[in-house]
Every structure is written in structure tokens, then in C-alpha cells.
Amino acid sequence: MTAATRILVLNSGSSSVKYQLLDMTDASRLAVGLVERIGEPASRFTHTPLFTGGETRVRAGAVADHAAALEAVADELAADGLGLDSPELAAIGHRVVHGGLMFTAPTVVDDAVLKEIERLVPVAPLHNPANITGIRTAQQLRPDLPQVAVFDTAFHTTMPEYAARYAIDVETADAHRIRRYGFHGTSHAYVSRRTAALLGKAPADVNVIVLHLGNGASASAVAGGVCVDTSMGLTPLEGLVMGTRSGDTDPAVIFHLSRVAGMSVDEIDVLLNKKSGLVGLCGDNDMREIVRRIDEGDESAGLAFAIYVQRLKKYIGAYAAVLGRVDAVAFTAGVGENSAPVREAAVAGLELLGLAVDPGLNAVRSDEARLISPAHSRVAVAVVPTDEELEIAQQVYALVNG
């Protein structure tokens, strides 16, 4: 009998399913794909069998729901000889956004676990329902296989109470489970460990500030491999300026919008989550476009960039204070991995913290983890491509192999 070494990683969003099939003997990707616009008449499905170097197959047409999406994924994998019925498939790993305080590690899903993930829907209304649907559908396809939930919040459950609590009435906070949970934890875990490896050190010996700058963005302070603070809170709205989210604001902005502007809670929710951040400031949320506009002298793009960078600097400074000693600052995700202007501006003027960027190294484009600080810098500045799917697959594989 063949050893089961394959892990299917599923990331189920409200209208999409992203997946990767990995072989954990060498952590190689056998196939990757994405089903988008589920539930719409024009869904789109792309599937790439990487193990054969095969070409991407694109399918258009309606995919009614997540069950249909997963069945289509199963069909495409089967067409490549990688069917879900294969004895080589060891487990299915599911990204679950909110694990509350209970889930501090990857967890094999049973009815009680599903119930708890459901109980967290009020604090993650946009994400957990889709994650639950993904798990249920996968269970129906392979009821005998371990379905493992890997939580975005898990890496942050080590935050001390004084970092996790808001300074609001304790009884009210506890009654409604209001506290800072943090998100992007899988990425922060992977990148902080990878940064330690880049420095040739064990994670336990390194303090890292991780800046995950994608469309959503968050910073974390990681001391000796353990998260001690992070910028996202009860929801992913808090912290850095993001593509469409405001990040930190005075909470009284909300009262003001309600009382003075007459907006409903739902309208304010949409404003702060979908129409704010870079898009709200200048109409664009793609950093490439913003930098291009700045080069043309566009003032609103310039101001949006400056606000984005100011917030980043404040978090770098705050986390340097939290950590006491910083060995590295690591940039990751779409903006962090690709935008040399953001990295340069975020670190500019932070010489007092021992931070500097070498312009030549910063300009290099590469998929590899790399240092961009000058030689002999007191603090390393690194670009570390994140790999949440690999991290999920590794955690799942470790769990099912005991």
C-alpha cells in the first residue's frame, strides 16, 4: 500500500474556493486552482496540474454552490490522476479564519469542532460561514478522511492578556467575547520562522516584526517564535491602512457618522471595510497603480501613500518598543514582497531603531526570501514571500502523522 503523503489545502471564501494539492515527501505542489464567482451565472474555474508542467485549464459557466465547486475540483484532479479517492491523500486541510480562544493549534474536525466554529460566526460573519461550508462539502466527498481546520487566529493566541484586551468594561467585553484575536496568523507564523532561517538562527533566538501587506494588512511582534502582539483585533478591520479597510480610527468616528451623518451601522460597516483604506483615500487599492500615479504627480495618490507609510512606521516603532530587541523586520504578501517604494519609505528615518534598506538590494525582484538591509546592519530587513498553503499543509501533515 502506498504511503499517504498528499495534503489537499482548501481556502473557501464566500464566493470562491482556492486549493492546492501538495506532496509532503518534498513539499512539492502537484496541482493548484481557483473557482471564482461561485453562485453567479459566469463562474470561472482555473486548474493547473503542476506536477506534469501541464497547462492551466480554464472552465467558464455556472458553478451553483460550494458543493458543486468542490465536485468540479475533484473532477479536475481525477482527470490528472490525482483523484480525491486516492489512497495517497492523507488529509484535507481547511483554512478557517476565526478560531476564537479555543483553537490554538490545527484541529481534526468533528461535530463538536464544527459547532464551535459555528459559534464564532457572529465575530467572523464574512468568513467562518464559507469555511464551514467548505468543510461540510469535503466531509461529504471523503467522509473517511481527516478534515483538519487550521485557524488564522491560532498563532496569536499566545498574546499576553494585556496585549489582547481592549480597555473597555470587562463584563461587557467578556459577555460578547470582545478582545483582540488577530488574523493572518498562518502567514505570520511561516514568515517569522522563515526569517529566522534566513538569519541562520533558530526561531527561539530571534525577535521579528512581520509586516504582512496584502490587500488586507497586518503587523505582528514575534518574540522567540511566539506572537506577543498583532495589529488586527476583534476583526480584520483594526491596525494598518489596507486596500479597502481603514485600519485604526477613533471609534467615535462611528458615533459621529451615525448621529451626524445619519448612516446606519451596516452602511458604516461597508464604508470602513470596503470603501476606505487606499481605495477610499485615492480611488485605487493596487499599490502599483498608486506608485505610478505618484510618479505622474498625482496628489491624492501621494497623500494615500504617505498615510499608509506613516501607519506602518508607527507599528514598527510600537513593536520595537514591545519587543525591546529587534533582530529583523520582514516584509511579506503582495505589497510587502513586490513594492520596493513601500519598503524604502516604511524604513526611511528609522535609523534610530537600527533600520536601513540598501537601495540596490531593495530594487532586486525575486521569489526568494532575501535580505535588503546593508551588510553589518544592526537589524536585518528582509523580504520573505509568504506561503500560507505550505504552512497549512505542513501543520496538517504533522498532525495526521502524530
Q: Which residues bind ligand ADP (CB under 6 A)?
A: 214-216, 243, 285-288, 333-335, 338-339
State the nearest-atom distance from the C-beta of 286 to ligand ADP, in Å: 4
Cα–Cα distances in angstroms (integers) from residue 148 to residues 62, 185, 239, 342, 391, in the given order: 29, 16, 29, 36, 13
> By C-beta, is 144 or 296 nearer to ligand ADP?
296
> By C-beta, is 210 or 287 nearer to ligand ADP?
287
| Catalytic residue list contains 248 | no
User: Residue type at 351?
Assistant: E
> By C-beta, is 23 or 286 nearer to ligand ADP?
286
> By C-beta, is 104 or 338 nearer to ligand ADP?
338
Phi-psi region of 21 (alpha: psi -120 to 50; beta: other; left: phi over 0): beta
Nearest to 290 by CA among 334, 231, 250: 334
State the nearest-atom distance from the C-beta of 184 to ligand ADP, in Å: 8
What's the CA gap between 219 and 232, in Å, rounded? 8
State the nearest-atom distance from the C-beta of 216 to ligand ADP, in Å: 4
> By C-beta, is 100 or 216 nearer to ligand ADP?
216
Tell me which of 26, 110, 111, 152 is the catalytic residue: 152
State the nearest-atom distance from the C-beta of 289 to ligand ADP, in Å: 8
Note the maximum CA span of the chain.
69
Name the strands in the sheet holding 207-213, side by side, starting at the edge strand that comes first in the sequence.
226-230, 217-223, 207-213, 328-332, 380-383, 370-371
Position of minimal CB gap to ligand ADP = 334
DSSP for 318-375? HHHHHHSS--EEEEEHHHHHH-HHHHHHHHTT-GGGT----HHHHH---SS-EE-SPT
> By C-beta, is 201 or 288 nearer to ligand ADP?
288
State the nearest-atom distance from the C-beta of 341 to ligand ADP, in Å: 8
What angle (nearest 5°) sits at the alpha carbon of residue 358, between those of residues 347 and 336?
50
Q: Are 296 and 273 in contact (CB under 8 A)?
A: no
**In whole angstroms, what separates CA 152 from the centre of its chain?**
7
**b vs e for 252-277, b when ≥16 Cβ sit within 10 Å of the residue's Cβ?**
eebeebeeeeebeeeebeebbbeebb
Catalytic residues: 152
